[in-house]
Amino acid sequence: MSPPTAREREFVEYLQSLVDREDRAALAALRRGLGKAPGSVPDLYPYVIPWVPEHGPPWHEEIYYLVSALFALYPENWSPEDDHEPTNLGASFRRLASSAQSASIERRFIALLNAGRDDLPEHLRHGIALLKAHEIPVDWAELLHDLRDWEHEDRPVQRRWARAFWREPPGSVSSPESTTAPTAVESGA
């Protein structure tokens, strides 16, 4: 899968500039989009519309609203030194599962992977809130990019996130005896 586009990265840099300038009014306006249908809160329009691609499907516009509201909730981005690792949301959840030591993290992640487009904003809001509570970074440009293909029939985004979440730790060797049976998400059930 291709990396985020320059436009997607520039949009996240723009959002980060609101944090850097301590523009609390703009961030509060963006947070008003949380829990609402993407694109339904006019407070977000001045910050999002200039960045939305003009001739794309409605879902591509909606993800800009969704990501901007989520970013305003928790503007912690992956640092550049993390570039050698996967930085998708699956990798963030992997870090969360490592630090939180809770089986509910995996269940929430599976629910996120199974979410349809209509339920995705709510699952993402809860997931980002969990990541915020444990100070786990999010690659916002990658998330914006990934969401474009969320409902692709081959589910490449969900499979990439699953690989990042369930991959073997670096340097470890798994044996057939040490592996567990695949979950419903991995087996495609």
Domain annotation for the chain: domains and CATH numbers: 6-168 (1.10.520.40)
Q: How do residues 139-158 score in pLDDT, each as one tens digit? A: 999 999 999 999 999 999 99
The span from the CA of 42 to the CA of 48, in Å, is: 10
Q: How do residues 51-93 score in pLDDT, each as one tens digit? A: 998 888 888 999 999 999 999 999 998 875 655 677 899 999 9
Neighbours of 10 (CB within 10 A): 13
**What are the phi and psi torsion angles at 22 (to 5°)?**
55, 45
Cα R_g (the chain), whole angstroms: 17
* pTM for this entry: 0.85
Name the residue type at position 80.
P
Between residues 44 and 185, which one has the greater pLDDT? Answer: 44
